[in-house]
Amino acid sequence: MRLPHLPHHRGWIEVVVGPMFSGKSDELIRRVKRALIARQRVLVFKPCLDDRYHQSDVFSHDGQRAEAIAVGSSSELRAHLTEPLPDVVAVDEAQFFDEGLIPLVIELADKGVRVICAGLDMDFRAEPFGIMPELLARAEYVEKLHAVCPVCGAPATRTQRFVNGKPARYDDPVILVGASEAYEPRCRKCHTVPSPQVQEIL
């Protein structure tokens, strides 16, 4: 994906999506670090809900790190954005945010801010996750990353959730923050979501 390289650019929205372990946070951190090297003012945010590796900072599964502010809602995120606005605002795990994030990122882009959002485009059922579909529709630049399916080696676009070592059933809660012990990437063929009836029989 090629982004404009203008010294006085207008704002835009970038969205990086994919399943777990596809490198979304790595890519967000990479873009943040490049902006910092360019001496741009950057603010990074993450949801308080995601405290797997650190209370506030963004961490990738590979150990990459970026300083961040943990917030509980889009309104709390907005409260941190005082004038003069930063050049770049990055939001990790955007799927966990409320609908108020949509008008906020649009407003920021309209005011000349480069907005980078990363998150899961699909939940463990392989259905659109929260606000991500609208973020994708509003973005000027979209990058969909793939992981590797550990079952067959094919490109993985979905996230498999396990509960007690078995595939999570369809009616399990959508939000359950975890890491490798609860999730792994899967391709379309190897992704499994048993119905409640099937789970009971098993």
Return the H-helix or E-strand segment holding 156: strand 155-156
Alpha-carbon span 178 to 170, nearest angstrom: 18
Please answer whether residues 181 and 15 qualify as being in contact, where contact means their C-beta atoms are separated by less than 8 angstroms. no
Q: Which residue is catalytic, options 93, 99, 107, 127?
A: 93
Instruction: Name the β-bridge partners of 185.
Output: 159
14 is a catalytic site residue: no
- HSE toward the beta carbon, residue 180, CA cutoff 13 A: 6
Alpha-carbon span 43 to 110, nearest angstrom: 17
The 3 state secondary structure assigned to 121-132 is CECCCCCECCCH
Residues marked as catalytic:
93
